[in-house]
A and B are shown apart, each in its own frame.
Chain A
Amino acid sequence: MKKNIIKLLSLLLAAAMILCVFAGCSDGKTEATDPKTSDNAPADTKTQADTQAETEEAAAPSGEPIKIGVLVADVSGEEALGFRSYYENYIAKNYNVSFVYTEQLEDAAAEKSAIEKFAAQGCQAILSFSSADRATQLDTCIQNKLYYAVASGMLDDAQFETYKTSEYFVGQIGPSMDTEYEAGFAMGKYFADKGVKTVAMYGAFIPNPMHVYRAAGVLAGLGMTYGGASEKDAIVGQIFADQGVDLSKVGANGVELVGYFQGFGDTTFDELYGLLGQNPDAFLSVGMATTFFTDALNGAGVEFSDIDSFTSANGKAMTEGKLVYLAGKYSSSIGPIFAALVNAVNGHPVRDAEGNALSISQDYLVATDAASFDKYSTADQGESPIFSKDVLDTVIGDSVSYDSFVALVTEDRG
């Protein structure tokens, strides 16, 4: 009996000790990391003396690093990992900032809780790659006096109208829903112009809004109607209502859509091979096909396209496989929103003429062959990203105008 009680108490004490040890160890680690981040800034910036003073003032007037909380809903995707690497391995080394990431956020409650934790941890700003409930994210940031910026996707128009005047809403830079539609449209048009007669289509995770807009664009780009409609809003509305693309509503015009499927589950590969059995001239995807189907499509010898990112795996698919069209973002495309956030934290927010938050749509880059793919991917490598420190420094400071910011984001960097 006694032995058991002793065993029990020792287990309890051991557990408590383990937790305390963890706490102690971790604290030391953080202490060690933070100064390192701070040390890096002056070391790296010695070579850029002209912008050094301004940047130091802009990024950290008090010498303390700016702590930014990052909300993420995807911890596995190549694009998400590329973004993270850019912030942690490039931005954090070149600026006096530190990033704290969430785990994979599943729902709105997790997003709100994460923001509150960031506030408790002393973060000054939030960058959001998670979109379960943007409005609640913004409300929580405002409540906790945290600057907030959308780094991926965009608020819908009504939400933007509601929050655009809030001093804590820095803005949003990324593909707008219109841009998503245009990306799909360009992809569809590419194949239509190429003269394909039959196509198959993958709708990824419709009714995810981004995928709905892209799918609507693809249909329109192929010259098709949907439920008799050819206008963006009408097609989009019907796809939302149908929760997918209903083949019986697709009106062909030179190009025939021989099959469509979406999602990823037990039937996915049966559906894919069912479609490939019909020998379509091309397979158009509005997302994730390069992750799931590259092998199958290469094996079947069907040319395919996707909206993804400029990763090495996609480069291989374009060089050696059948990937012929890729609309993608590059990892450092999230540089400008970081710059906007730093300006806001330092008291020099960039606002439009009416004093509203930034809302700038960022286009996709399109590669249709190995050469164009290489151009984008090599231009955005680890230590020399497209939005490098030199480029970002031009919009970090106390005298950055809205127009110069827009010009930086929208400039063709291909």
Chain B
Amino acid sequence: MAQTNLAKKNRTRELLVALLPVAALLVLFGALCLTVNLKGYRLDMYLKIVFNEGVVLAVVATGAIFIYSLGSFDISLGASTLFSAAIGVMVYNSTQSLPLMICTIFGVAIGCSLLSSVLASVFHIPVFVTTVAMMSVLSAVAAQIITANGGALGGIGIPATVVAPLDNVPFKLIALLVFTLICVFVFDFTKIGRRLKFLGSNPVCAKLSGIKVNVYAIVAFVMAGLGVGLGAFLTLVYTPSVTPTTAGSIGMNILVAIVFGGMPISGGSRSRIYAALVGGFSYILLNNILKIVIDSGAGYGISQIVSAVFFLAVVYVTSMNYRTKLLPR
């Protein structure tokens, strides 16, 4: 009886801690509404802005969950987004075809991801180091393409009218939801997701059970590539131009977003697709709130400090369920 009660209590505790990121998102959402109203700003516009800022991060981070669930992480996703968008623009400018541009963007994004996964799994290079190298190469090549073709404008772009009809919240929301549902389906309702989590939790055991690590690593990278492709397309929908700095901060922000969303960096069975969505929007909300309330020049530094402290506090609380006696590595 006592044991049942204890188990029940533990489950409740786990549930509460697991729900904390969602609670944090709601608190931040409330705080943004409050702050914007107190300042007398337009809330409808701010909500749209936050959504626009968060959607690309959420999409790319959602795809990245597949890699993170393996206990690996990829910091080249921002560079892949830039590279895919740049190639997409080049293709559009040569063919004037939007469908071809979209296909190219997805193709290039998946190709970049596949290259990373092949290097990592076939040549047995640590995933992180592979992605560091990929980040350097992709951003350097993209910069070369953009500056060589951008001329005096400093960037390349497609006519704004091509994607303007898609630059609205309903379209982006549908894209986000469809992609998230696909990811949820693959991650939570197929053996792919289960095996990825198994590989992340206990790679040795998973290998001994006959799971082909390389195959699942490639699947994970392909799913991340899909996220990057959609992210690159949505980037172009929002601003139809690409400069060498486009999507520059996404690579690291994905890491922050996923952890903020309550997913352990070690991946495994506690990986959750919604972590990216919740964490991505929470991080964007937090940054926006801080930028509204601390609005002096030196305040950029202070708001970053406050944001980091808040981030660490949330991660500290959400990691309660998996804290070990030994120092975590």
Question: What residues make up the interface of A, taking CB atoms closer than 8 Å to B?
Answer: 1, 4-5, 7-8, 11-12, 15-16, 19-20, 22-27, 30, 75, 84, 100-101, 103-104, 106-109, 111-113, 116-117, 119-122, 131-133, 135-136, 139, 156, 159, 177, 207-209, 212, 236, 240-241, 243
14 more A-B residue pairs beyond the given contacts A16-B31, A20-B34, A133-B243, with a C-beta to C-beta distance below 8 A: A4-B320, A7-B317, A12-B20, A12-B23, A15-B24, A16-B30, A19-B34, A22-B293, A23-B289, A75-B297, A104-B300, A108-B239, A112-B239, A135-B157
15 contacts between A and B (CB under 8 A): A19-B27, A19-B34, A19-B289, A23-B34, A108-B243, A111-B239, A116-B48, A117-B46, A119-B45, A120-B41, A121-B41, A132-B241, A133-B243, A135-B241, A243-B147
Contact among A8, A104, A156 with B16 in the assembled complex (CB-CB below 8 Å):
A8
Instruction: Tell me which of A4, A19, A120, A136 contacts B42 (CB under 8 A).
Output: A120
Residue of B nearest to A84 (CB): B297
Of all chain A residues, which has the CB nearest B28?
Answer: A19
Complex: chain B residue closest to A116, CB-CB: B49
Q: Please, how many angstroms separate the alpha-carbon atoms of A136 and B155 in the complex?
A: 12
Residues of B participating in the A interface, judged by any CB pair closer than 8 Å = 9-10, 13, 16-17, 20, 23-24, 27-28, 30-31, 34-36, 38-42, 45-46, 48-49, 52-53, 56, 144, 147-148, 150-155, 157, 160, 235, 238-243, 245-249, 289-295, 297, 300, 306, 310, 313-314, 317, 320
Q: Is B297 touching A109 in the complex (CB atoms < 8 A)?
A: no
Q: Which of B10, B27, B52, B248 contacts A107 (CB 8 A)?
A: B248
**Nearest B residue (CB) for A156:** B152
**B239, chain A: closest CB distance, angstroms:** 4
Contact A136 B239 (CB under 8 A): yes
Between B20, B42, B239, B297, the greatest number of chain A beta carbons within 10 A of the residue's beta carbon is seen for B239
Which listed residue, A11, A19, A116, touches B45 by the CB 8 Å rule? A116
Q: How far is the CA of A26 from the CA of B34 in the complex (A)?
A: 12
Which 9 A-B pairs have CB atoms at the shortest separation, nearest pair first? A120-B45, A108-B239, A26-B293, A19-B31, A23-B35, A207-B147, A22-B293, A209-B152, A133-B241
The DSSP consensus for interface residues of chain A is helix
Query: Which one of A1, A11, A108, A241 contacts B13 once the chains associate, using CB atoms below 8 Å?
Result: A1
A20: B residues at CB distance < 8 A: 31, 34
| Most chain B beta carbons < 10 A, residue from A100, A113, A117, A243 | A117
Q: Are A101 and B246 in contact (CB under 8 A)?
A: no
B245 lies within 8 A of A131 (CB): no
Q: Which residue of B lies closest to A237 (CB)?
A: B151
Q: A1-B9, A23-B38, A116-B45 are in contact. Are A12 and B27 (CB under 8 A)?
A: yes
Do the beta carbons of B148 and A240 come within 8 Å of each other?
A: yes
**Residues of B with C-beta under 8 A to A25:** 293
Q: Are B320 and A27 in contact (CB under 8 A)?
A: no
